[in-house]
Each structure stands twice: as structure tokens, then as C-alpha cells.
A and B are shown apart, each in its own frame.
Chain A
């Protein structure tokens, strides 16, 4: 790990050549994405630079209270972001917030308790960021599916309720499908890892000069951690959110129309 690389701003700027290629392709094919590509490039630069300074500060201080504050901020921002993809779910923010917090806190606590990582900022910050980022995607996909399925299967749900089924009984098939939607992308990418793509951690470690076996083992640890955290996030979000479609008397509420 000692042979760390130190990319200069000039090297970062040089890679903008590839961004220009993306913009040219978009312009040539009239995909109308040049503006988005520009925004994405600028935002990623500002956001990553800012978080880099924040992480540097937290690592220098190495105090758990800063770690907790950073992870809390990531959970909050993640819940806001994921809510936009779950428009058809009423009040999706709270289930998402709880889901991300549960996934983040329980996985970090578990890896520390199992002795995989030490309870230090240099481990908890990057792992926490990765866990919460993946949990956010999974929970958003699961709730997106939940909203679509409830809207699409309202007659079936009501026909089941009319027979005396509880909300939970009527929703069981839809909960199952939503959970699968949230979890399948990560499971699939875990299956093909190393064959079709090299995951980010491994790439980063290899670039930084780590031994390949070390890079592989760390990558495996993170993949397994992510499987657990993503399942927890999707399950928590779906179980909490599905109730918001119903009244306490097991009646399906009128569905909100998704804001366009």
C-alpha cells in the first residue's frame, strides 16, 4: 500500500478529453445530453473535491463523532435522493431514511464486531459511504417497483382485501417482487464480478500498487457486506412503505398521481 499514486490536477484535466468524446457523440447523434454531461462533470468535480476535504479532515481528527455525523448526513441525503425515484409511494422519505440508517448502522456495527475492520475513521467512512450508496439504490428500486405494482394491481389487491385479507396478506406477492427488484442487480453483478467487470475497490487498490490477492480479498469483503446491507435496506423500505398505501381499516387509499 506504500506505493500510493498521487494524480495531479493536470492528469485529472487530461481525462476531460474523454468527457469531450461523450459530448461530441451526444451532439453528433442529437442525443441532447451535452448539457447533462457538462453538469455531471462539474458536479462530480465539486462534490468529490468537497467530500475529499471533509474526509481528510475526519481522517486527520480520527474522532468517531465526526464519522457518525458524516454517515448521518449521507443517510439523510440518500433518503432525499431516493425519494425522487419512488414518487408513487406516499411519504416515501421516512421509510427510506429508516432503511438507510438500519442498513448503514447494522452493517458497520457488524463488520466492526466481527473484527473485519477497526472502528476507525479510515475504515468506517469509505465503507459507510459504499454501503449507504448501494442501499440507497436498492431501496429506491424496490420502492419504485412497489409503487408501480400497487398502481397496476389495485383491482387484485382490493379483491383480496374484500375476502377478509389483511394489508400484509394482500400485499405479500407485491412485497416479494419489490424485494427481488431491489436485490437482483447487486446479486447479478456479484455473480459476474471478475468476469465481466472489475469492481471499483479492486481497481483502486491495483492502481494504488496493492498486491492482487489483497485487492481481491478486500473486494470480496465489501461485496459480501453490500449483499447484507442492500437486503436490509430493501426489506426495511418495502415493509415500512407498503403500509402507507392503506388505511388502518385495510382499505387501499386513492393513489397519488406521480408528479411529472
Chain B
């Protein structure tokens, strides 16, 4: 899927842009270790990702998949799921608020929400882990224009409020420009040009 990709993803917000099939999602999966590279090395903070405890790495480098895939339970239990795995409680209200959802959503059944709301619960679920890096795979692909604008506003506010680095996969160059400090363009599994600095 990916060949000769050599990129440094720094702090701040990076957009991975390219047509579908370019290997953007694959790159996120390598960073979160849902998959491993057949060849080559993926480093996080200078160390091969395979040298980290995989479960701890996934909590630190959290991935929000393209399509909502929530547990068939309440919003609150979904948001608390990640922290509960390692025996912690979660500040569900704070995570929901960061993801742009009112805390009144907490007791609702996740699967009865709209796709846009479910996508925000997915975001809140990742934020509840307190990640250092947040990987977002096409966060607005399943949304209409209005919902997309709202999610973009949420992501911009996250960028301002969180110290976490954001890596956003999108096929929409204009969106990448609106959201990111820097741009990495992937095409046919290769980086077309090195990340160019954008004036945010």
C-alpha cells in the first residue's frame, strides 16, 4: 500500500491529503499499530512503534476511524470505555464538551444518534483517553456540508485548546488548508512533495 514514505509528523496539526487509495488511512493504522509495515520502520518520539507496549501506544496515539463504530450501549459508557479498560474513570462531560456535544447526550443510546453525533461520540471516546496524538481518518467524509462545517469548527477549537498533536486524513485539499498547519500529500502510496508550511 505504501512505498518509500518518509515523513516527519511534527506537533501541531498535520493534514494527510490525497485521493482515495493513496494510503492515507494505512499510514494512520501504522501509527496506531492496527497494522504493521511489511518493511521499514515507523517511529514515534524517536522509537520504533513496535518497541512500545502496543496497548499503551494506542491509548497515547488515539485513532478515530472514518465511520462511527460504537458499542451498542449509552454514550456515557462508550466515552468511558477506553479509560475503564485500564481501570480509570473518565470525565465524560469534559470529553463530550471538547467533542462539541452537550453533556445531556450522556445517557442516550449511541446507536439512536445521527451519524454526525455518533462521529462526535467517537471523537469524545478518543479524547477521554487523554491522548498525546489524535489521528482522525476522514472525520467529515460521512457528513453533509452543514455538519462538516460544525465538525471543522470543533477541530479548530480542539487545536487551540489541546496540547495533543492532530493528524487529519482528508481527500479535500481545501479542508486541509482550513484545518492544518502543514500538509503531506500522498499519491499512489508515495509522498508527492515534502510537507510545506502553511500560514495558519
Size category of the A interface is 10 to 19
Report B-chain residues with C-beta under 8 Å of the C-beta of A161.
34, 58
Q: How many A-B residue pairs have CB under 8 A?
A: 62
Report B-chain residues with C-beta under 8 Å of the C-beta of A169.
85
Contact of A158 among B54, B69, B70, B122 (CB under 8 A): B69
Report B-chain residues with C-beta under 8 Å of the C-beta of A162.
32, 34, 58, 62-63, 65, 126
- Give Cα A131–Cα B86 distance, bound, in whole angstroms: 41
The proximity string for A residues 238-260 relative to B, scoring 1 for CB distances below 8 Å and 0 otherwise, is: 00000000010111100000000
- Give Cα A161–Cα B63 distance, bound, in whole angstroms: 10
Q: Is B122 touching A159 in the complex (CB atoms < 8 A)?
A: yes
Q: Is A164 touching B34 in the complex (CB atoms < 8 A)?
A: no
Q: Is B126 touching A163 in the complex (CB atoms < 8 A)?
A: yes
Q: Is A165 touching B32 in the complex (CB atoms < 8 A)?
A: no
- Give Cα A187–Cα B13 distance, bound, in whole angstroms: 56
Contact of B142 with A by CB under 8 A:
no
With both chains docked as a complex, state the minimum distance between the C-beta of A154 and any C-beta of chain B, in angstroms.
Answer: 9
Q: Is B129 touching A159 in the complex (CB atoms < 8 A)?
A: no
- Give Cα A228–Cα B55 distance, bound, in whole angstroms: 36
Interface core residue of B32, B69, B129 (most chain A CB under 10 Å): B69
Report A-chain residues with C-beta under 8 Å of the C-beta of B24.
none
Q: A163-B125, A164-B58, A249-B54 are in contact. Are A155 and B67 (CB under 8 A)?
A: yes
Q: A164-B56, A169-B85, A250-B54 are in contact. Are A159 and B36 (CB under 8 A)?
A: no
Q: Is A159 touching B65 in the complex (CB atoms < 8 A)?
A: yes
The proximity string for A residues 165-202 relative to B, scoring 1 for CB distances below 8 Å and 0 otherwise, is: 11001000100000000000000000000000000000
With both chains docked as a complex, state the minimum distance between the C-beta of B122 and any C-beta of chain A, in angstroms.
Answer: 7
Contact of A156 with B by CB under 8 A:
yes
Q: Is A252 touching B34 in the complex (CB atoms < 8 A)?
A: yes
With both chains docked as a complex, state the minimum distance between the C-beta of A161 and any C-beta of chain B, in angstroms.
Answer: 6
Report A-chain residues with C-beta under 8 Å of the C-beta of B125.
163
Q: Is B85 touching A164 in the complex (CB atoms < 8 A)?
A: yes
Size category of the B interface is 20 to 34
Q: Is B33 touching A251 in the complex (CB atoms < 8 A)?
A: yes
Report A-chain residues with C-beta under 8 Å of the C-beta of B36.
247, 249, 251
Report A-chain residues with C-beta under 8 Å of the C-beta of B69.
155-156, 158-160
CB under 8 Å from chain B, chain A span 64-100: none
Contact of B59 with A by CB under 8 A:
yes
Contact of B147 with A by CB under 8 A:
no
With both chains docked as a complex, state the minimum distance between the C-beta of A159 and any C-beta of chain B, in angstroms.
Answer: 4
Contact of A163 among B33, B35, B62, B67 (CB under 8 A): B62
The proximity string for B residues 45-72 relative to A, scoring 1 for CB distances below 8 Å and 0 otherwise, is: 0000010001110110011010101110
Q: Is B65 touching A250 in the complex (CB atoms < 8 A)?
A: no
- Give Cα A158–Cα B82 distance, bound, in whole angstroms: 13
- Give Cα A108–Cα B129 distance, bound, in whole angstroms: 49
The proximity string for B residues 85-100 relative to A, scoring 1 for CB distances below 8 Å and 0 otherwise, is: 1100000000000000
- Give Cα A155–Cα B71 distance, bound, in whole angstroms: 11
Q: Is A163 touching B34 in the complex (CB atoms < 8 A)?
A: no
Shortest Cβ-Cβ A-B pairs, 9 listed: A159-B69, A163-B82, A164-B59, A162-B63, A156-B69, A155-B69, A164-B58, A164-B55, A249-B54
7 A-B residue pairs with Cβ-Cβ distance under 8 Å, sorted by A, are A155-B67, A158-B34, A159-B65, A162-B126, A163-B59, A163-B125, A166-B55
